[in-house]
Amino acid sequence: MDISRNWLAQYVAIDCDIPTLCDKLTMAGIEVEAVESAGTVPAGVVVGRILERKPHPDSDHMSVCRVDVGQGEPIQIVCGAPNCDAGNVVPVATIGTVFHTPEGDFKIKKSKLRGVESMGMMCSEKELGLSDNHEGLMILDSSLKLGTPVETLFPGDTRIEVEVTPNRPDWLSMWGVARDVSCLLDTPAKLPEITVPECDIPAPGLVTVEAPDLCRRYIGRVIRNVKVGPSPKWLVERLESIGLRSINNVVDVTNFVLMELGQPLHAFDLDKLEGKRVVARRAKPGEEITTLDGKTLTLQERHLVIADAVKPMALAGVMGGEYSGVTEATTDVLLESAVFFPSNIRATSRELGISSDSSYRYERGVDYDMASLASDRAVQLILATAGGELASEKVDVNSGRPAEKVIPCRFDRIRSLIGAEVSNERIADIFRKLHLKVDDVTSGGCTVTAPLFRLDLEREADLAEEVARINGLDRIPEIPVAAKMCGSIREDAYQALQTLRDRVIDLGFYECMHYSMVNVNSALADRRFRREDLIELKNPLSLELAVLRPGLLGEMLGTIERNISRRNLNLRLFEVGKVFCGNAELFPEERFELCMALSGLRQPERYSAELKEEYDFYDLKGALESLFELANVKRYKFVAADDARFRPGRAAEVWIEGKKAGHFGELAADLTRGWRTSYPVFAAQLDVEVIVNADHGRSYYVPFSLFPATSRDVAFVADEKLEHGAILEFIRRSKPADLESVRLFDIFVDDKLKAEHKKSMAYQLTFRNAERTLTDAEVNSRFEKLREKLAKELKVELR
């Protein structure tokens, strides 16, 4: 929305400079986005009279003029304008005048044009920024005193571009902004006096509203014998000051009132209306209309149109029809001022891809009361600019005036909401200056009635916002936030679940989410449960959602099968969720469970032999070990188990601190029968409470060493029954100084070793000191001591 400072000043006295005004508007919620000066004549341009005109000796289109600028001796100026005749009074830019142009600043200097000295420049209207007229010099009134600064004759204007929020359609007009400016500057705001000739000529059938649910009010009146033509200068200047183009006097008046009062209007050529009447109705399916911008639209019943006795003549609230508008041949006008349902206008504008200044306002909501006042204002201006006479009564078809919102206001509550001390009198005064009705004022509060142009005021908090922005947001004191000690984050149940999820995700698993309600078959896929263990819903949405899930495995199986059927074979899935059991002896009624699943290739992104490696039982076991390591669970173990969910010999129980935490293994063949995959599927089901409540101990940060590491390899032949874990435990107990890590990198068995029940194993030992670089001698010494202990105590044969 563009605001003209000069236009705004017609309604409210502005006793501050532009930067101050813009700052106050922004702080009050009317955010200023840009400021542009318009028609400001540069300092140094004065009134001058051409005393003499001679042809230029070296040019056939330039003249040499002697000009009196009221500052002593006349000056010589070379000019190329066709009307630089002697006797004309024109604006003259003297030496030193600076013109500000989009291309940069231009300063008038003493110069020579084709060898003839020139001491200034005589100006056109375009050069002064007053209009686009560049056909010749601007001719001033001959009675003006020579030397008078031209900037005093044309004070110029400032265009202020503001951003209007959707909840404040009342700011989409000069008068709406003036109301707030008057409150901000504490100066009165007043509309021009509106007088309309009395006319009681009846107009039966002039206006019919067949869709009162979409058209709340429609005011129509007839003006006859108008003379359509150019608008007067003041009207053209007002429209141009906010970037609108003048069309003709009647249309310009409707645009002027739109911008002045925020009420869209439309002027119909009465002679183009069949039956000399208008009908506000729903469009007929497939009905067409050509709008003012030349688009032909096919309408549906949901669209509201303004029609004559036969066809649509305007798309209500959006745009007029091409064949109904005012032209130079128009003599009789039907003036429309209406209130339409906002959501219908918004939907129509979006659906048909048409937007206008009218639809922009209608879709946000216009003032019901302003429709009548705007109609009077338009009649007043049309009669003043286009002549004619009012030829009908004001036909006002409406469904009744909406009730105004009455809001109880407590002064203490207002102060509490805005956090600032404002007196009772100041609060009530702000409401009155915003044109709100204030009644029943007491020491404790008052009653505020919001006028129909303030659709955003609904409750006490809205009134507090008005007080805050008018009184000044900068006056709200800074109050330190009082922090209160709450419970530890360790006591937050959700935090523990989210941490567990994050740790499983860290292991490369992707989270699934399923419904808590499942069908019976899915529930019984988890073979720990029987039908009587399930919790059935009394009123299920469908049989597919008939029971609460007793475990996560059933739905996880469905997700795995769905992925496999779409050839997504490499899966690392998990879910953490609540499950429900109707058998208290088996499980608690509600608990959280963790389900993890693996299937497919271990490294599908690799090549050669590595591409053929498939997930196996130990990949899932390793994932669980890594999870427990991340969770700092110290005491856990895996015990071989028989479980109907898993293949015999490929299942294990998980125990944490002496409590059974769950099972994992390769799924039984009948659970995966029919799946189009050749890869085994591995799954784990764990009780979250056992994992979360385990003793996680404390973790301490250990800084990493900034010094280099040194590695040594040790290989030996050992008994085939010697386990890798036993070797790691032996090395740990031996406590070699500066030993950082141990890695098994080779196990070898050939026919000879197999016959001797032996195997060859090779380890890499890495040494590092946190405070200095180890020498080879130190590393070799520690390494040899460990080799000797391995050979002596584990009875291995060093290689």
Whether 39 has a pLDDT exceeding 80, the answer reads no
pLDDT at residue 679, as a whole number: 93
Average pLDDT over residues 402-428: 94
Confidence class of residue 400 from pLDDT cuts 50, 70 and 90?
very high
Burial pattern 111-130, b for ≥16 Cβ within 10 A else e, equals eebeebebbbbbbbbebbbb
- For 162, the token pair is 């503001």
User: What is the SS3 assignment for 173?
Assistant: coil
* Signed CA dihedral, 18, 22, 25, 30: sign only: positive
pLDDT at residue 484, as a whole number: 78
Mean pLDDT is highest, among 186-195, 323-332, 372-381, 734-743, for 372-381
User: What is the SS3 assignment for 38?
Assistant: strand
d(CA 162, CA 180): 14
* Inter-helix orientation angle 460-471/411-418, to 10°: 60
Q: What is the pLDDT of residues 489-516, one digit of tens each?
A: 667 778 889 999 999 999 999 999 999 9
d(CA 77, CA 120): 6
Confidence class of residue 265 from pLDDT cuts 50, 70 and 90?
very high
Q: How far is CA 243 from CA 9, 232, 478, in A?
A: 18, 17, 42
Average pLDDT over residues 206-213: 94
CA angle (456, 459, 465) in 5-degree steps:
70
Asked if 681 and 750 touch (Cβ cutoff 8 Å), the reply is no
Q: Please state, rounded to an integer, the average pLDDT across all residues of the chain.
A: 91
User: Lowest mean pLDDT: which of 95-109, 203-217, 590-604?
Assistant: 95-109
CA atoms within 13 A on the CB side of 187: 13
d(CA 319, CA 290): 10
pLDDT at residue 606, as a whole number: 79
Confidence class of residue 152 from pLDDT cuts 50, 70 and 90?
confident
Whether 253 has a pLDDT exceeding 80, the answer reads yes
- For 581, the token pair is 């059991």
Q: Find tokens 């305007």 and name the residue.
A: 314
- For 140, the token pair is 């001033």
Contacts of 154 (CB under 8 A, 6+ apart): 39, 41, 128, 130
Q: How far is CA 78 from CA 56, 94, 114, in A?
A: 8, 13, 10
d(CA 768, CA 779): 9
If one counts every other C-beta atom within 10 angstroms of the C-beta of residue 653, the result is 17
Whether 473 has a pLDDT exceeding 90, the answer reads no
d(CA 93, CA 47): 9
* Signed CA dihedral, 403, 180, 233, 126: sign only: negative
Q: What is the pLDDT of residues 657-711, one digit of tens each?
A: 999 999 999 999 999 988 988 899 999 999 999 998 887 777 777 888 889 999 9
User: Which has the closest alpha carbon to 196: 334, 378, 369?
Assistant: 378
Q: What is the pLDDT of residues 306-337, one digit of tens each?
A: 999 999 999 999 999 888 889 999 999 999 99
Task: Please provide the DSSP assignment of 416-472 as one string.
Answer: HHHTS---HHHHHHHHHHTT-EEES--SSEEEEEE-TT-TT--SHHHHHHHHHHHH-
- For 100, the token pair is 């500000």
Burial pattern 767-783, b for ≥16 Cβ within 10 A else e, equals bbbeeeebeeebbeebb
pLDDT at residue 8, as a whole number: 93
How many residues are there in the chain? 799
Average pLDDT over residues 215-233: 95
d(CA 569, CA 560): 9
User: Lowest mean pLDDT: which of 234-243, 260-269, 362-371?
Assistant: 234-243
Q: What is the pLDDT of residues 7-36, one digit of tens each?
A: 999 999 998 888 999 999 999 989 999 988
Q: Find tokens 């590595």 and name the residue.
A: 610
User: Lowest mean pLDDT: which of 128-142, 266-280, 593-607, 675-689?
Assistant: 128-142
Task: Please provide the DSSP assignment of 62-82 as one string.
Answer: -EEEEEE-SSSS-EEEEE--T
Query: In 231-369, which ranges are continuous DSSP H helix?
Result: 233-240, 249-261, 342-352, 357-362
Number of H helices, E strands in the chain: 19, 41
Look up residue 136 and give its DSSP letter: S
Look up residue 280 and give its DSSP letter: E
Full set of structural domains in the chain with CATH: 2-35+160-185 (3.30.56.10), 45-155 (2.40.50.140), 207-398 (3.50.40.10), 405-470 (3.30.56.10), 491-692 (3.30.930.10), 710-798 (3.30.70.380)
Please check if 670 is assigned to a binding site: no
d(CA 646, CA 634): 27
Average pLDDT over residues 414-443: 93
Segment 476-482 long-range contacts (CB within 8 Å, at least 24 positions apart) = 476/418, 476/419, 476/420, 477/419, 477/420, 479/419
Asked if 511 and 575 touch (Cβ cutoff 8 Å), the reply is yes
Which residue type occupies 706? Answer: L
Please check if 778 is assigned to a binding site: no
Please check if 456 is assigned to a binding site: yes
Q: How far is CA 207 from CA 219, 306, 316, 317, 459, in A?
A: 8, 10, 14, 16, 37
Confidence class of residue 293 from pLDDT cuts 50, 70 and 90?
confident
pLDDT at residue 100, as a whole number: 79
CA angle (758, 764, 769) in 5-degree steps:
145
Asked if 193 and 210 touch (Cβ cutoff 8 Å), the reply is no
Contacts of 233 (CB under 8 A, 6+ apart): none
Q: Give the 3-state secondary structure percentages of the chain, helix then strand then coil, rounded to 5.
A: 30, 30, 45
Confidence class of residue 607 from pLDDT cuts 50, 70 and 90?
confident
Stretch (H or E) spanning 728 = helix 724-734
User: Which has the closest alpha carbon to 617: 673, 567, 684?
Assistant: 684
Asked if 657 and 596 touch (Cβ cutoff 8 Å), the reply is no
If one counts every other C-beta atom within 10 angstroms of the C-beta of residue 169, the result is 24
d(CA 184, CA 182): 6
Stretch (H or E) spanning 759 = strand 758-767
